[in-house]
Amino acid sequence: MAIRLFFKRANAVRAGALPVAVIVWAGLTAGPSAFAAEKPRAGSNLVFAVGGTPPSFDGHRETTFAMLHPVAPHYSTLLRFDPQSYPKIVGDVAESWTVSKDGLVYTFKIRRNVKFHDGSQLTARDVKATYDKIIFPPAGVASARQASYAVVQEIETPDIYTVMFRLKQASASFLANLASPWNFIYKADILVRDPRWYEKNIMGSGPFVFVEHVPGSHWVGKKNPDYFMKGRPYLDGYRAIFIRDTAPRVAAIRSGQALIEFRGFSPAARDDIMKTLGNKGVVQESPWICNLTVTINNEKKPFDDPRVRRALTLAIDRRLASKALSKISLAKYVGGLFRPGSEFAASDAELKKLAGFGDNIEGARKEARRLLKEAGVPEGFSFSLKNRNVKEPYEVTGVFVIDQWRQIGLNVNHIQQEGGPYFDDFRQGNYDAGIDFACDFMDEPDLQLIKFLSSDKSTLNYARYKDPVLDDLYEKQSRETHPKKRLALLRQFEKRVLDERAYQFHILWWQRLVPHWAKVKGWKITPSHYLNQDLRDVWLAE
Amino acid sequence: MVRYLLRRLLLMIPTLLGVAALVFIMIRIVPGDIVELKYAGQGAYAPREAIERERAQLGLDKPLWHQFSTWIWGMARLDFGQSMWTGRPIAHEIGIRLELSLQLALMATLIAVLIAVPLGTIAAVKQDTWIDYCARVFSIAGLAVPSFWLGILMILGFVLYFRWLPPLTFTSFWVDPVANLSQMIWPAIAVGYRYSAVATRMTRSALLESLGEDYVRTARAKGVWEPRVIARHALKNAILPVITVIGLEFAFLVGGLVVTEQVFNLNGIGKLFVEAISQRDYTMVQSLVLLTSAVFIVVNFAVDLVNACLDPRVRYQ
């Protein structure tokens, strides 16, 4: 049982110590919670805040939580991650499934009692049309996740309740990819008429029916009385309020105008909220599938020399970073290419063998100085670190990294930029080093390693190197369905990226902190702010 | 006069065209691409083909002259086009927010006028007395305190001490006046206070100048009742620069309350502006700049007309 109850937070910054009753659910390790024993109460409307606005309503083309949080409650997906025991995969509209022995055919049986909000039956044809749009989008239709399903050869529907995915080769990540929260099941008839209809309209089979959207202001959904899960959802409806700035979003929760914000807050905002809410509030915490990396421009001198890049990663004391930064920012967990605690993560012993992840920081810095000297980099060498102008975790991490590099005799200029110029400079290679980031909806090597593929294969590889060895390792791990063999390949990949070549390297993984009103029940934090957002299990206590 | 007005009206067209060309070029010079921001901005992977397809869909693969002429032709037909970020009609997106921004600007202006004109007048009439000093402190404080900071203080006070905040979503005055005013009154006060400080100082100094003029001295010598001297003779002439300031401030408020709208979570034009710029929503930014420019031009024109009506000495050729 991983419920840690009621710790008192002494707030040293503010006058006087204020006891704050907080419940922390450790996301990954938590078992059934004390709240799970409470009897869910039907009725009430949930008001929650969203820190952005949805560009379009189409889950297949968007990449922002600002779309997912208000829109996901209207839709079902084929599979989903069980929020009570992530990363377990369970069926959503899929009742059951089988995988052929050679791993090339996945067959799904669709539930017979799933209806769209217009009253029509959801069938295998709708699932096929949905995935055809995602994997083989027609001209003029954008699909942000098409590349994740490149392994699919074709989709068939042997009967109206059966869908078969035929793959070109075995894929270790395929099933998990089908649990993507972005893959809303759309109605085939609508897609036939207009494949872009869902960009501006809502018609799903999820627990809530669309009521209203006022751009920039709010989104309203009401209970779907014909939802396929009897007794769900518990809520009568929900209202998502779009509040872009942190200060008014915190104020909205402190005042009870919104009861929760699902993405999460910084430690300071969490403390502000809990100081006001006292025992009326709880905090759920989890490691987050988001991280910050230092990206090095491998095409620029002297960074084209692996000794220089290795020196840069050796100089960073990640253990100290974890202790210091976690108090003031989202950055917290020391990890390699995979989220610490995930099934793919290196053990602590394995991690310590990689450059920059060991215990002996003095020894590492001595080695870093030696490497720089050997590479001909003079003492006091100057370069710039480009970063986003977002306070945390970007700015604080950038400042920390610069201080670490100063300790091996490097003189680094911190350049903070607004999103547009920042991405533009990264894309054009107009930088020396930079702070980059990644966020995914699940722990999955196929997703998380894309950034590290050769730059002609990955738009996210801003480090501008080409390495056929890494590309080959990626292909091999992707096809390897035996877990242990796959792990061995992943360790090879990780060692090459972070240690041998030090192309680009992680600093810290994030912590997800969701403070909310205690009366919000039935929602459990996951390591991703994209998951568990259909609200079907959520209810409000009086 | 009529010819002058017609010429002013016609001059609006090249002015707006110039603004349109300028903003079109400027927004494209700013580094960063809307499609890149949409995908990479979330840290997610999008293949190059998907990004190129999206660019083509938005027409960004076309030459600049083609993009500009298409947009201008649309504007000439009052077709604002669609937001590149959301795909929704720009006229609809702006329309939703315009009501709020106009109401806030009007309320702030009303508050400012109700404070500034009497206070500025009293301060001028009672020059160098404690009343004048108080009025000057009030207006200097208003100039020194940014309205968004005052807004933050208000919100903190409401939350911490009263556990109350104005409603988070906008309700039209015509639907529910009470809900509407309970949301709008606080930002209007925050903005109106700063605005009144400017107008108070302007009223005071203009009135002081007027009170020293010969025609005021003459009126007093003729034994005209003092309040009448101030209201009919001095203030009527002194009010002209105040009206100019009020007019320009009003035009600024329609699109310029960026930070205040963020603080109070008001879904107005300023907030839309910030979002559109940060998202590189070219068509939206272009339309918003054009709209606010048009508001400035029209208000400026209206101020000139009012000045002409109030002061017969003002003659437009």
Mean pLDDT, rounded, for A278-306: 94
On whether the CB atoms of residues B191 and B260 are closer than 8 A, the answer is: yes
Q: Using 50, 70 and 90 to split pLDDT, how confident is the model at A521?
A: very high
Between the CA atoms of A202, A203, A205 and A209, what dihedral angle is there, to the nearest 10 degrees?
A: 60
Please report the pLDDT score of residue A506 as a whole number. Answer: 94
Give the whole-angstrom CA distance, residue A79 versus residue B160. 44
Give the whole-angstrom CA distance, residue B116 versus residue B200. 4
Instruction: Please tell me the distance in Å from B53's CA to the nearest CA on chain A.
Output: 7
Over residues B293-303, the pLDDT tens digits come to 888 888 888 88
Nearest to A252 among B36, B168, B262 (CB): B168
Please report the pLDDT score of residue B43 as a whole number. Answer: 61
Q: Using 50, 70 and 90 to split pLDDT, how confident is the model at B40?
A: low
Q: pLDDT: is A102 or B55 the higher one? A: A102
In the stretch 250-309 of chain A, residues with CB closer than 8 A to chain B read 251-252, 254-258, 276, 290
Give the whole-angstrom CA distance, residue B191 versus residue A193. 49
Cα-flanking dihedrals φ and ψ of residue B134, to 5°?
Answer: -60, -45
Q: Is the pLDDT of residue A444 over 80?
A: yes
Mean pLDDT, rounded, for B25-46: 75
Q: Is the pLDDT of residue B214 over 90?
A: no
Cα A448 from chain centroid (whole Å): 10
Question: Is the CA virtual torsion B50, A388, A26, A494 positive or negative?
Answer: positive
Q: Is the pLDDT of residue A300 over 80?
A: yes
CB distance A241–B169 less than 8 Å? yes
Instruction: Please tell me the distance in Å from A377's CA to the nearest CA on chain B.
Output: 32
Over residues A470-492, the pLDDT tens digits come to 999 999 999 998 999 999 999 99
Q: Which of A188-202, B41-55, B163-177, B257-271 has the lowest mean pLDDT?
A: B41-55
Q: Is the pLDDT of residue B1 over 80?
A: no
Mean pLDDT, rounded, for A32-45: 74
Please report the pLDDT score of residue A260 as a whole number. Answer: 97
Between the CA atoms of A271, A272, A273 and A276, what dihedral angle is there, to the nearest 10 degrees?
A: 110
Contact partners, residue B315, CB within 8 Å, separation at least 6: B1, B308
Give the whole-angstrom CA distance, residue A233 versus residue A230. 8
On whether the CB atoms of residues A521 and A38 are closer than 8 A, the answer is: yes
Q: Which amino acid, residue A185?
A: I
Which run of H or of E encompasses A539?
strand A539-540
Burial (CB count within 10 angstroms: exposed 0-12, middle 13-18, buried 19+), residue B137: exposed
Token pair for residue B157?
Answer: 């006070």
What is the percentage of chain A residues whose pLDDT exceeds 90? 78
On whether the CB atoms of residues A98 and A229 are closer than 8 A, the answer is: no
Q: Is the pLDDT of residue A2 over 50?
A: no
Please report the pLDDT score of residue B33 as a whole number. Answer: 78
CB distance B86–A248 less than 8 Å? no
Q: Which of A105-119, A402-416, A425-439 has the lowest mean pLDDT?
A: A425-439
**Is residue B250 left, alpha or beta, with left meaning phi > 0 and alpha meaning psi from -120 to 50?**
alpha
On whether the CB atoms of residues A406 and A315 are closer than 8 A, the answer is: no
* Inter-residue long-range contacts of A30-33, CB under 8 Å, 24+ positions, other chains counted: A30/A2, A30/A3, A30/A524, A31/A1, A31/A2, A32/A84, A33/A3, A33/A524
Burial (CB count within 10 angstroms: exposed 0-12, middle 13-18, buried 19+), residue B161: exposed
Token pair for residue A400?
Answer: 């920390």
Q: Using 50, 70 and 90 to split pLDDT, how confident is the model at A15?
A: very low
Q: Is the pLDDT of residue A351 over 80?
A: yes
Q: Which of A325-329, A359-363, B234-238, B291-295 has the lowest mean pLDDT?
A: B234-238
Please report the pLDDT score of residue B314 as a whole number. Answer: 65
What is the percentage of chain A residues whose pLDDT exceeds 70? 93
Mean pLDDT, rounded, for A29-51: 75
Mean pLDDT, rounded, for A507-520: 96
Q: Is the pLDDT of residue A377 over 90?
A: yes
Residue A219 per-residue DSSP state: E
Nearest residue to A381 (alpha-carbon basis) of A398, A363, A356, A406: A406
Token pair for residue A414?
Answer: 């911190």
Mean pLDDT, rounded, for A352-367: 94
Q: Is the pLDDT of residue A12 over 60?
A: no
The residue of chain B with its CA nearest to that of A291 is B43
Over residues A155-213, the pLDDT tens digits come to 999 999 999 999 999 999 999 999 999 999 999 999 999 999 999 999 999 999 999 99
On whether the CB atoms of residues A149 and A202 are closer than 8 A, the answer is: no
On whether the CB atoms of residues A469 and A446 are closer than 8 A, the answer is: no
Please report the pLDDT score of residue A383 as a whole number. Answer: 96
Q: Give B156's contacts in chain A (Cβ within 8 Å).
A: 251
Instruction: Please tell me the distance in Å from A230's CA to the nearest CA on chain B.
Output: 33
Please report the pLDDT score of residue B10 as a whole number. Answer: 86
CB distance B265–A218 less than 8 Å? no
In the stretch 81-140 of chain B, residues with CB closer than 8 A to chain A read 85-88, 92-93, 96-97
Between the CA atoms of A207, A532, A442 and A260, what dihedral angle is there, to the nearest 10 degrees?
A: 140
CB distance A450–B45 less than 8 Å? yes
Nearest residue to A102 (alpha-carbon basis) of A484, A479, A485, A487: A479
Q: Is the pLDDT of residue A122 over 90?
A: yes
Please report the pLDDT score of residue A32 as a whole number. Answer: 43
Q: Using 50, 70 and 90 to split pLDDT, how confident is the model at B317?
A: low
What does each C-alpha distance from B215 to B169, B206, B223 come to in angstroms? Answer: 53, 15, 13
Query: DSSP strand E in A105-151: where?
Result: 105-110
Q: Return the SS3 of A28.
A: coil
**Is residue B35 left, alpha or beta, with left meaning phi > 0 and alpha meaning psi from -120 to 50?**
alpha
B272 reaches A (C-beta below 8 A)? yes
Q: Return the SS3 of A18.
A: coil
Q: Using 50, 70 and 90 to split pLDDT, how confident is the model at A509?
A: very high
Q: pLDDT: is A34 or B118 the higher one? A: B118
B24 reaches A (C-beta below 8 A)? no
Q: Which of A61-70, A444-453, B3-12, B199-208 has the lowest mean pLDDT?
A: B3-12
The residue of chain A with its CA nearest to that of B37 is A420
On whether the CB atoms of residues A414 and A433 are closer than 8 A, the answer is: no
Average model confidence (pLDDT) for chain A?
A: 90
CB distance A423–B32 less than 8 Å? yes
Instruction: Please tell me the distance in Å from A489's CA to the nearest CA on chain B.
Output: 22
Mean pLDDT, rounded, for B157-166: 74
Please report the pLDDT score of residue A412 as a whole number. Answer: 96
A380 reaches B (C-beta below 8 A)? no
Q: pLDDT: is A383 or B9 the higher one? A: A383
